[in-house]
Amino acid sequence: AMEASPDVADEHLQIQVPAITKRYLGIRAVETREPIRVIVLRALQAYGVPVPDEAISDRRKKRPT
């Protein structure tokens, strides 16, 4: 088994967001059939925050369809 590099290992991050923001993310998640986590990571990546591509795609592959 390949070990994830420390940069890709998941860490816990809890944030509070405005209700309208969370509602929108929920709707978007249903529309795209992606976890909110993926949508948020993509948005952060688009904003210029370093997000390894594996962090966005990996979980997707493991999820049962």
Instruction: Tell me the per-residue pLDDT of 5-48, one tens digit each, with 9 for 90 and over.
Output: 777 788 999 999 999 999 999 999 999 999 999 999 999 999 99
DSSP string, 33-50: T--HHHHHHHHHHHTT--
| pTM score, whole prediction | 0.74
CA dihedral defined by 38, 54, 8, 21, rounded to 10 degrees? -10
Tokens of 20: 């309208």
Say if residue 54's pLDDT is above 80. yes
